[in-house]
A = this chain, B = another copy of it.
Amino acid sequence: MQLAHMTWPEVERYLEAHDGIIIPTGSTEQHGPMGLIGTDHLCPEAIAHAVARDDEVVIGPSITVGMAQHHLAFPGTISLRPATLISVIRDTVMSLSRHGFRHIYFLNGHGGNVPTVQAAFSEIYADSTHAASNLRGEGPPRCRLANWFTLPDVAALARELYGDAEGQHATPSEVSVTQFACPEHIKSAALPPSTLHSSFPTDADDFRRAYPDGRMGSDSSLATPDHGRRFVEVASRAVKADFARFCRT
């Protein structure tokens, strides 16, 4: 179930038996000449919906814009400042916590979000740590950030299908997932080889100098919709198990 498609009495009933929610978390940023700008949220959305198809679990509204300042030299990228993203995560968790959600699972599609989202969790927990003594009984809800692309089975499949051509950005695995999820938006482009550098760029201009077409060592052209289907299957199975484990902590 998507939260957006429920009524509040339906949420109230869900909370009688559950206290977990999955929030697809991504970015709106360039993904090279043939990757979609929405790739990083389209992927966790596709996986989350596959999870929700079989299981009774609520999928919250996607965080579609994340921390992507290093991609801003490419048109179409939108980025939140880290401080802004921290506030977005914090307000989201505080809102859900008020209703009784106690396990908030951010299914992430963008590596650049990781430090900021983890810092946001620390802000939330610090709020609780510093709360006056008579407010401390319940503690904060438990938060978890899980990257779909680093789940062991997903990483193994990517390695098997693409080896080093997976690269680090605009990867064939994520492009495959969007080709499967949005078959009407499959693009093609001539792709010269892209070489990975040993150090990560700093600001947007530095990134574009290092990676002129936006890919980071990946051959996006290896993507196929059928690979995408396989990634979604593997990832949604892994997320289901991981989310269930998480909700029991």
B contact residues around A34 at 8 Å (CB): 7
Measured as residues with beta carbon below 8 angstroms from the partner, the interface class of chain A is: 35 or more
Across the interface, A72 reaches (CB within 8 A) one of B31, B129, B249, namely B129
Contact A4 B28, beta carbon cutoff 8 Å: yes
Stretch touching chain B among A47-55, A115-123, A222-230, A233-241: A115-123
Report A188 CB to chain B, min CB distance, Å: 10
List of B residues within 8 angstroms of A35 by Cβ: 7
The answer to whether the Cβ of A151 comes within 8 Å of any Cβ in the partner chain is no
Residues of the B chain whose Cβ atoms lie less than 8 Å from the Cβ of A38: 2-5, 61
A95 with B79: CB separation less than 8 A: yes
A69-124 residues at the B interface, CB under 8 angstroms: 69-70, 72-84, 86-88, 90-92, 94-96, 98-100, 112, 114-120, 122-123
How far apart are the CA atoms of A64 and B32 in the complex, in Å?
Answer: 26
CA A134 – CA B94 in complex, angstroms? Answer: 16
Chain B, Cβ-Cβ closest to A95: B78
